[in-house]
Amino acid sequence: MSTDVVAEVVVRPIRDSDVEALGRVHAICWHETYDHLISAAAFEKLSPRRMAELWNHYAERGEEYQQFAALVDGEIVGFVGSGPARDEDAPRERELYFIYLLDAYHGTGIGQKLFDAAVGTDPSYLWVASDNPRAHRFYQRNGYALDGGEQVVPFLGEEIHEVRFVR
């Protein structure tokens, strides 16, 4: 999608009625983001229905969680979530848990709108796949820097190496 052809973009809090669409977009985004890191066999376990079940859990979170969806012409194309730090040695009180945007909308400014809705300019930290240079550049543009934190996390029965960015 051309960066100058994006129709009406709305960023709004996630609603219970969004879970099916979020599940579908989440599954697609994981394929687009992690296909080079995870085997095709692992992705066979992933389904939009399974992801929608995950979103049912996310939708029940309290006020301390910030979760937003980006819609273009009424269709969800991305989402973001942040909340209290989950790590015992957290470098900040707030963590950006996830931000995903369909590849077709990269470079349109929608990712920035999602990011701003969830964390704004507040101090925070996040974990991101070490082999995701596009995401690294995005976070660096938003004032984050690597702090040396690393972890290996389970992902669809395999593992992903992550690095920590802090602002």
Q: What is the CATH number of the domain that holds 74?
A: 3.40.630.30
Q: What was the pLDDT predicted at 44?
A: 84
Into how many domains does the chain fold? 1
Residue 5's contacts (CB-CB under 8 Å, 6 or more residues apart) are: none
Domain containing residue 85: 9-166
pLDDT tens digits, 20-79: 999 999 999 999 999 999 998 888 878 777 787 777 766 666 678 899 999 999 999 999
Instruction: Answer yes or no: is 3 within a domain.
Output: no
- Residue 117 per-residue DSSP state: H
Instruction: Answer yes or no: is 58 within a domain.
Output: yes
- Residue 18 per-residue DSSP state: G
Q: How many Å apart are CA 10 and CA 36, to the nearest integer?
A: 31
Give the Cα-Cα-Cα angle 84, 85, 86 (nearest 5 degrees).
115
Bridge partners, 66 (sequence order): 82
Closest alpha carbon to 46 in 162, 163, 166, 157: 157
Contact 155, 38 (CB under 8 A): yes
Give the range among 18-22, 77-81, 143-147 with minimum mean pLDDT: 18-22
Confidence grade of residue 7 (pLDDT, cut at 50, 70, 90): confident
